A and B are shown apart, each in its own frame.
Chain A
């Protein structure tokens, strides 16, 4: 590779590369995040320089830079304000507030102001649904936005005050734990889980996790003990084709999935804000069981504000002998954790896409088999578990499997943390034993006029008022934690419409059915929203939904039609009220197509219109 030909760029890049792995290509995404911060975009000259540093092709770097929402190949404003576009933010007035803000700053949504000072746009749910409307400014979270706060923010931008010097109250993020249970309510002594595990032994601890019947809290509900067992046993299964690092054994990795991107979910944010020790302790226990020396926390880019506090927790744990070499004096028990930040890609919550992203690549779900437990990070056996799963594992290590299994239902043991938002008096975090009914939850959070609940986010299930007796459990309503409440006056079409935009924006583009199908779905919903829908369009939505559900490559595509199909089934009226009586209406808007010509000529008279 030739040396970088732009010395002034190289001078600024060298320290960034030095901070992140020196020249290790698995750090590309971490490097690009800092490059974006520094230049407000990824300059083409920097791509060439980084290619030399990391021994990658320009196309590979451009591929990664073009994939993640928070990275940009064209210049963005010095201040980049991204409004959270979840339906709960919208219900709290986001569209009007964003327009108000744009008007104040003389900038169009999605564009950069003429002085390059500011750009304003929407972004997928930032995980602040209980304290929205929310936004990010240069990646830092802004909560509880209203006109007063936006007045202040636009003033701070106008006087070019660095974000680090803005008043702290703008960035205040509250835990809002409304109903604590065994994870959030009972005291946890740092190291208690590891101590109990060492006393019992790793194998016996795996047995406890098995007896506990712990299942993955990310929504899919795979049995954790099985996953750990497969990973531990991976070498024997692979018949010699495994990459071996030491003494005939492959290195193994344990990864905590904190890419909490499902709209309406924010319980991992709270676990990592105030219960990080429990999460890291669970990872350490898991590492001992599967034989991993290194772990990663993959933290979604929206939660970058947690990076420093989490690094501090890791340092403290190292100082206390709970991480690092010979943990708690146990010879040969070495384990450490590194934090990687995402950069705005919901798909990276899918475990194999997350692993690709950890390797510094585009977050594209892999073909399976092989599964990550046999071939994951860098081709080595890897366990990927949800934040809450690790917190549970720490508790189980401490108190035993039988204690855990005594809570919840037979198939869904333990508790589940829910992130409650939308139309209720007390949004926030609620921890319940599995088996709780939707009705009980609605009563607790003060949702008096509830009409529907989106359980587990857009990829989950829409529950109508007729089904409020259903239970939160893997055998009835499995959930990753989102619980968005809609009252009687809400138009359910608007929620489904919002979710189709979300999936179209987040599809990775790898497979045809999802790349195109999510677009088709969005376009048909736009057509209906604009008053041009017909009954034929509803049939088309069902058809596209079927293709998405059966032909897609991964869970994103498989579930992308859920909100539309659920709403069609449970709230057909919300669609029908918007339809034209005609049997057919062209999607192509002839008059709309002339808009570009009208803009260019500056005309808007009758003769410049078709009707």
Chain B
């Protein structure tokens, strides 16, 4: 007999070793997430995928599923809390959707819409962050970095290059590049790297591709992210 968990009253089967998120994605149940991408080792940092298991808040992307688990996912309380977290992500960085090339393909923006975020609510921090245009083919704009470390994981685990890392602490955490100058252009980074295409926001943008798909025709312009994700497309790749 296969093992099952229950998400909001619906029974879902899973195989040993799967997390709640794995089981949900396989069953096309949407649990909001940003730092999770099924291709990479779960991270558990953005906390958007927080669900309640037996009354306890856990991260769906890192919590192993176990037989008979009762999971609460789509509740008003949880969605309110998730919206607060997305608002936190918006105010700690500099996210200016109207002028961002990623608009419409951006998961942060899409999740915000999906959770009904109408305002940033908190006061903006307006942190000074560095832009790095030194690489011939790729922009690195830290204003839009949400510290999900997908590029860190992709570069380390898929590209075998370790181009990225995190330094600093707390609100001072920042993405750093593995080169003596700290600039992307002096690293071994290549536009063909997996890490070049994994950013959920517009922090890593490929040059000379701007607006090749016009605003209005992009992934989340017509369908909300919860629908895109449950139609079988994995998160992360947005060409």
Contacts and interface: CB of A to CB of B under 8 A. Distances in A.
A binds B: yes
Interface of A: 44, 48, 57-60, 62-63, 65-69, 73, 345, 362, 367, 369, 504-513, 515-520, 523, 543, 546-547, 550-553, 587-588
B84 A543 contact: yes
A512 B173 contact: no
Contact of A550 (B81, B89, B162): B81
A509 B47 contact: no
Interface string B66-82: 00000000000000010
Contacts of B9: none
Interface string B138-172: 00000000110000000000000011111111111
Contacts of A506: 170
Interface of B: 42, 44-48, 50, 57, 59, 62, 64, 81, 84-85, 88-89, 91-92, 122-123, 125, 146-147, 162-174, 176-180
B28 to A, nearest CB: 25
Contacts of A48: 180
Contacts of A68: 169
A67 B122 contact: no
B171 A516 contact: yes
A70 B142 CA distance: 26
Contacts of B172: 66, 509
A560 B164 CA distance: 30
A45 to B, nearest CB: 9
Contact of A520 (B44, B47, B122, B178): B122
User: What are the 10 tightest A-B residue pairs by CB atom distance, in nearest-first order?
Assistant: A59-B165, A66-B167, A509-B173, A516-B88, A59-B178, A367-B62, A507-B170, A57-B162, A509-B170, A63-B165
Contacts of A510: 45, 173
A584 to B, nearest CB: 13
B170 to A, nearest CB: 4
Nearest to B125: A519
B45 A512 contact: yes
Given A48-B180, A546-B81, 8 more contacts: A57-B178, A59-B176, A59-B178, A65-B167, A507-B171, A519-B171, A520-B122, A551-B50
Contacts of A66: 167-169, 172, 174, 176
A523 B123 contact: yes
Given A60-B162, A367-B44, A516 B89 contact: yes
B170 A504 contact: yes
B57 A57 contact: no
A512 B85 contact: yes
28 contacts: A57-B165, A59-B163, A60-B162, A62-B167, A62-B176, A66-B167, A67-B167, A367-B42, A367-B59, A369-B64, A507-B170, A509-B168, A509-B173, A510-B173, A512-B46, A512-B47, A513-B88, A515-B170, A515-B173, A516-B89, A518-B170, A518-B171, A519-B170, A520-B122, A547-B85, A550-B50, A550-B81, A553-B45
Contacts of A588: 123
Contacts of A553: 44-45, 47, 59
Given A66-B167, A66-B168, A513-B47, A547 B84 contact: yes
A504 B48 CA distance: 21
Contacts of A67: 167-169
Contacts of A513: 47, 85, 88
Given A48-B180, A59-B162, A509 B171 contact: yes
Nearest to A241: B17
Contacts of A552: 47
A73 B182 CA distance: 13
Contacts of A58: 178-180
Contact of A515 (B165, B171, B176): B171
Q: In this complex, which of A65, A367, A587 has the most chain B Cβ atoms within 10 angstroms of its Cβ? A: A367
A263 B92 CA distance: 27
B123 A512 contact: no
Contacts of B164: 59
Nearest to A51: B178
Given A504-B171, A519-B92, A519-B125, A59 B177 contact: yes
Q: In this complex, which of B46, B168, B170, B174 has the most chain A Cβ atoms within 10 angstroms of its Cβ? A: B170
A508 B169 contact: yes
A592 B46 CA distance: 33
Nearest to B167: A66
Nearest to A60: B165
A284 B46 CA distance: 40
Given A520-B88, A551-B85, A553-B47, A59 B171 contact: no
Contact of B47 (A63, A507, A551): A551
Contacts of B171: 504, 507, 509, 515-516, 518-519
A67 B172 CA distance: 9
Contacts of A551: 47, 50, 57, 81, 85
Given A57-B162, A59-B162, A547-B81, A509 B169 contact: yes
A58 B188 CA distance: 13
B130 to A, nearest CB: 14
A512 B146 CA distance: 9
A507 B168 CA distance: 11
A59 B170 contact: no
A338 B174 CA distance: 32
A527 to B, nearest CB: 9
A69 B62 CA distance: 29
B180 A44 contact: yes
A219 B205 CA distance: 47
B33 to A, nearest CB: 12
A107 B148 CA distance: 38
Q: In this complex, which of B64, B165, B168, B177 has the most chain A Cβ atoms within 10 angstroms of its Cβ? A: B165
Contacts of A587: 123
A409 B156 CA distance: 52
A50 to B, nearest CB: 13
Nearest to A503: B170
Q: In this complex, which of B48, B88, B125, B180 has the most chain A Cβ atoms within 10 angstroms of its Cβ? A: B88
Nearest to A369: B64
A58 B165 CA distance: 9
A484 B64 CA distance: 41
B170 A505 contact: yes
Contacts of A520: 88, 122
Nearest to A45: B180
Contacts of A65: 167
Contacts of A519: 92, 125, 170-171
A528 to B, nearest CB: 14
Q: In this complex, which of B47, B167, B169, B173 has the most chain A Cβ atoms within 10 angstroms of its Cβ? A: B169
B92 A515 contact: yes
